[in-house]
Amino acid sequence: MSALTQTERDILAGIADYLIPEAEGMPSASQVNLASELADRVFAVRHDLVGPVRGALGKVPGLAGEVAAKKLADIDPEGFHAITTVASAGYFMSPKTREALGYPGQESRPFDPDKTTDYLEDGLLQPVIDRGPIYKPTPGL
């Protein structure tokens, strides 16, 4: 069962496209199908957003994206915040978005506990080491 009706998805798509338009090589919210499968994925892990999103979308039936977004920001800030959370979370879950950003996703990198870490070899910490410890004593703690 879907968290949103098709009418609610249409309104969400309009608002999301206003918030996340196509620009500078990045896809728009609708180009990554944010209002369908991605929103459902967000709701699958954030059940607490379903009520506020549905409530907010019900307050702007038939309004275009920009008008709906501005109205919700004024009359239902909590619902608008829930919508922006779903829109941004869903957008960055999209493979198209991650590809456009050049982000392949999380990678498993092997860790060698015996290898000296780069920041010790490249001098990054040397000014801190040279400076010595800086702290304020906290007697009695």
First-to-last C-alpha distance (Å) of the chain: 55
Please identify which residue in the block is written with the tokens 């991605």.
Answer: 38
DSSP state of 28: P
Task: Tell me the mean pLDDT in the region 99-111.
Answer: 89
Considering the chain, what is the average pLDDT of its residues?
93
Q: Which two structure tokens, joined as six digits, stand for 94?
A: 């999209």
pLDDT, greater one: 107 or 78:
78
For 22-80, write each residue's pLDDT tens digit.
999 999 999 999 998 999 999 999 999 999 999 999 999 989 899 999 999 999 999 99
Is the distance from CB of 34 to CB of 54 less than 8 angstroms? no
Strand partners, 26: 23
pTM for this predicted structure: 0.75
Q: What's at 101, amino acid-wise?
A: L
The dihedrals phi and psi of 26, each to the nearest 5 degrees, come to -95, 140
From residue 101, alpha-carbon distances to 26, 94, 96, 123, 134 in Å are 8, 11, 9, 30, 39
